[in-house]
Structure 1
Amino acid sequence: MMIAEVSERFDISQDTLRYYERIGLIPHVNRNKSGVRDYREEDCKWVEFAKCMRSAGLPIEVLIEYVGLFQQGNETAEARKELLIEQRKELIVKLEDMKKTLERLDYKIARYEQAVTEAEKN
């Protein structure tokens, strides 16, 4: 699959795909005889993983570390698991913060709706 197809499939720019590959977030992508990137399904799984984790706010450095550990083989399984557990804990904290912010926004919106309704009555 060509880079344009992968870009469209995952709604991620070609520049971002190249960047992710360059920094090691996506392991080496094979190239055809002409030197053009030829994404295989395994590469697409890495793209999907990177996009998902980045969308959740995981730092690029952590994801690069994870990919590096993965490439070292099964002996790093425990380290990879611990890294993901730590990121999960941090994500839970972020979710709680976001929940509080959402509740505050809901409260503020309700107050404005009440004020507008009262102003319309007068």
Structure 2
Amino acid sequence: MNIKEASEITKVSSDTIRYYEKIGLIPPINRTSSGIRDIDERIIGRITFVRQMRSAGMSIENLLLYIHLVDSSEDHIAEQKDLLKQQLSVMEEKRDDLQAAIDHLTWKLDHYEDHMVKAEAELTRLEKKHVQDQAID
């Protein structure tokens, strides 16, 4: 299949597939006699794997290392698991940061009348004072 068809199947843009090939995230793609990429199921599997790992937040750099370990003829299961554990830790930290932001906004909404209205009034007062002070100078 050509790159457009592969893009539709994998939900990865043609440009991204070319980039993944260029940097070695997917193996070199065979070409037809006219130079058109001829993508097979092996490449589709790799593109899908890379997309899933990127969706899990893995950086290109770590994904390149992970793919290298997978493709190695030696056993690198411990290193692969370490990379996955590191990524899990990164994602858990992001989740915790997001949850803290959600909790903060929820609190602000729950206390809008007794907190936010006063805080916003104070911001407005300070802004007006600043404008007045600037006009005097």
Provide TM-score, normalisation by structure 2. 0.70
* Equivalent residue runs for 1:46-85 within 5 Å: 46-85=46-85
RMSD (Å), alpha carbons: 2.4
Deviations 1:88-120 (A, max 9, x none): 1221211222222233344445566xx9xxxxx
Unaligned runs of 5+ in 1: 116-122
* Equivalent residue runs for 1:18-37 within 5 Å: 18-37=18-37
* Equivalent residue runs for 1:98-117 within 5 Å: 98-108=98-108
How far is 1:47 from its partner? 1.0
Change in 2 beyond 3 A, CA 1:60/1:109: farther
Deviations 1:28-68 (A, max 9, x none): 22223322212222211211122122223211100011111
Change in 2 beyond 3 A, CA 1:22/1:111: farther
Higher relative contact order (CA 8 A, sep 6+): 1
Amino acid at match of 2:60: I
Provide TM-score, normalisation by structure 1. 0.77
1:94 corresponds to: 94
Whichever of the two has the greater Rg, that structure is 2
Task: Give the number of equivalent residue pairs.
Answer: 115
Q: Contact between 2:29 and 2:39, CA under 8 Å: does it hold in 1?
A: yes
